[in-house]
Structure formats: structure tokens, C-alpha cells
Structure 1
Amino acid sequence: MSAVKIIKVLGTSEESFHDATQEAVREASQTIEDIKGVEVEDQTASVEDGEITQYKTTVEVAFPVKHGEE
């Protein structure tokens, strides 16, 4: 039996929600080993003068809990 830890990460992009999601996973993977999945929880955007200027995606990142040295 294994346990999975889940954290929330916010990714941003000036291009798209997809790129914001990719950025969240890319950044999380720099400090989290063995990411097994993500779930998009929320998508928002910043708007200026009627145009989207920044896409924001909040994702839940899932990875296994490790005990001691393995």
C-alpha cells in the first residue's frame, strides 16, 4: 500500500492555459521527484484593456510519499 501527497501549484503564461499548466508542472518537477499526475483545479486570467494579458492555472500535483532512504 502506498500514500500519495498532493500540493497545489499555480502556473502562469502570457500565451495560453495549456502553457500555464505546463509551466506549473515544469516548475514543480524541479523540486518534486516522481510526479505521477496533475489535476487542473482552476483557470483564471488577468485582463487589461479588454485583452487577456496573463493566463493562470492552479493544478494539484500528486506524487508518492517516500519514507527514509529508498
Structure 2
Amino acid sequence: MTAVKVIRVMGTSEESWEDAAREAFLEASQTVDDISGINVERWTADVEDDEIVQYKATTEIAFPVEY
């Protein structure tokens, strides 16, 4: 039987929210096999001197687990 596990991973980027989401996926894929989906839960950013200095994407990463 297969179940799906979901973990929360935050990615960051100095370029864009899309790059931050990609970074979250790439980080997770280093230790998680067979990722089946990614859901961006929240977009946030750090601001300094009226400019965005770091984009953040909080994601949910789904993958199958056997039991």
C-alpha cells in the first residue's frame, strides 16, 4: 500500500519568488525520492531600504511512502 507524505520546505532567493520555490524543490530533492508534487503555500519577502532583498516561498512537497 502507498501513502503520500507532505513536508514543508522554505526556499529563498535574491532574484524572485519563482526562484525561491525552485530552490525549495531542489533542496528537498537532494534527500527525498520520487517527489510527486509541490504546492506553494505562502510567498513572503524581506525588505530593506524600501527594496525586496530576499524572496521566500514556503512550500509543501509531496512524495509517496511505502508501508
Q: Which runs of 4+ in 1 moved over 3 A?
A: none
The one-character-per-residue Cα deviations of 1:23-63 (angstroms, maximum 9, x if unpaired) are 00000000000000000000100000000000000000000
Query: How far apart in 1 are the matches of 2:63 and 2:10?
Result: 16
Give the equivalent residue in structure 1 for 2:20: 20
Give the equivalent residue in structure 1 for 2:3: 3
Gaps of 5+ in 1: none
Query: How far apart in 1 are the matches of 2:66 and 2:53?
Result: 39
**What is the TM-score with the length of structure 1 in the denominator?**
0.92
Query: How far apart in 1 are the matches of 2:30 and 2:63?
Result: 13
**Structure whose CA Rg is larger:** 1
Q: CA RMSD in A?
A: 0.9
Structure 1 or 2: larger strand share?
A: 2
Query: How far apart in 2 are the matches of 1:66 and 1:31?
Result: 16
How many matched pairs?
Answer: 67
